[in-house]
Chains A and B, each alone.
Chain A
Amino acid sequence: MLLNLTINGEQRSDNVDPRMLLVHYIRDIANLTGTHVGCETSICGACTVLINGSAVKSCTILAVQADGTKITTIEGMAEGDRLHPLQEGFWEEHGLQCGYCTPGMIMTAADLLARNSNPTEAEIREALEGNLCRCTGYQHIVKAIQFAAAKMRTSKAA
């Protein structure tokens, strides 16, 4: 079945089997392997991407359900060599250890910060409910998102 969508600004048109999951389309057809597969059962959030700006778990969406949408993956966050403030935050605040959960964390945080530019710590933790990290204990992930929120607020004000 023909699937038309935009990933990270690039328009694509591919023939896919209707049962193909969006995460496999992103990784195996679009060759964007920054989006990870953790649990495959919509629990861990490693596969989180943005569809039209909303964070979703791409292991629980058929690729054909994303027809006509705009998808953003972790590869679409940086502008050339300039890291997105969230990526910078994870770097500066040591928001990752193995990094497996990181792309999903960043995409969920991007949805949060688009809705709420100044979240409280509790709001950040609540937003990350659907993203599991087995390494960090979350402390530095929260700090990374606070770093990004502050940076994005100042650059908007400037």
Chain B
Amino acid sequence: MFPASFEYHRVSSVKDALALLSQFGDEAKILAGGHSLLPMMKLRLAQPAHLVDIGAVHELAQIQEQGGRILIGGLATHHSVETSSIVKAKLPILAECAALIGDIQVRNRGTIGGSLAHADPAADYPAAALALEAEMTLENPGGKRKVKAADFFLDLLTTAVQAGEILTQVSFAALGAGTGGVYLKHRHPASGFATVGVAAVVTLKGTNFDKVRVGITGLGAKAFRASSVEKALAGKASDAIAAAASHAADGVDATSDTYASGEFRAELARVYTRRALEQAVARVKA
């Protein structure tokens, strides 16, 4: 099983990558870790004429802390996020999310930019990016623009990344005082992807919720913020969690496949939302 022929371009800078993308337009695709793109190319579901390999653009793989924000380059592997001392200290939920992706070999190759740009409906990072209100930096030949996670995931495998653009950085606010976050997933036993995955980030004022953010992946065509759960908890104490979590799947057209029916996925979303919220609250107190 091998991909259809293509022309391969290795670049060492974002600028060179952008130039090739604008030269070849729709014919070109970025290659990062290749762990979503190459499987699709082997199945001939994708047949790009040009591959622009950004694997050697090392500055895109950095993880830094700047002015209270954690900046993760688009090319940072899942393994580097999972083991980064900055991420573990400031955004433990994101390190845990990365550690739950696939297996060691996949985490050594797959990148955060590739995962978010690919937007697999069962990918893990989108849920965490939504709950952490991440901000994506997209670069194009005209300059840079920033897109909030809430505006990033548009549909099945479709994001705000336009043709010719590169996702160069994902920026997160470090979890502050009074805030706790958890990512939980029901792992598909064969693929490792999330049958359903829920990221919950809560901020408490005294014993009541000041801010609640819930991101859910795997349930429908795209990851989303469970705003009905968030609203149901506004200003409430944690005894309201169970009732609020029962709204987790409201209004979502749940995916059915041979492994899990839509009904089962919706139930998983409700149960995992409840558990994630309870554990997020426990982490604030801890």
Contacts and interface: CB of A to CB of B under 8 A. Distances in A.
A40 B31 CA distance: 19
Interface stretch (B1-9, B13-21, B173-181): B1-9
Interface stretch (B102-110, B138-146, B204-212, B217-225): B102-110
Contacts of B2: 19-21, 24
A42 interface: yes
B104 A42 contact: no
A42 B10 contact: no
B51 to A, nearest CB: 7
B6 A19 contact: yes
Given A60-B39, A64-B10, A112-B104, A19 B3 contact: yes
Contacts of A41: 1, 39, 42
B34 A18 contact: no
B105 A18 contact: no
Contacts of A20: 2
Contacts of B42: 40-41
Main secondary structure of the interface of A (DSSP, over half): mixed
Interface string A22-60: 001000000000000000111101001001001111001
Interface residues of B, number: 29
A111 B104 contact: yes
Contact of A130 (B10, B39, B104): B104
Interface in B40-57: 42, 51, 53, 55
Interface string B52-72: 010100000000000000000
B235 interface: no
B103 A18 contact: no
A18 B192 CA distance: 29
Given A18-B7, A42-B39, A60 B34 contact: yes
A59 B53 CA distance: 17
Most buried by A among B1, B6, B79, B103: B103
Nearest to A40: B1
Nearest to A107: B105
Interface in A73-114: 108, 111-112
Contacts of B109: 56-57, 60-61
Interface of B: 1-8, 10, 31, 34-35, 38-39, 42, 51, 53, 55, 79, 102-106, 108-109, 190-192
13 contacts: A17-B5, A19-B5, A40-B1, A41-B1, A42-B35, A45-B105, A55-B108, A57-B105, A60-B39, A61-B34, A65-B31, A130-B106, A130-B192
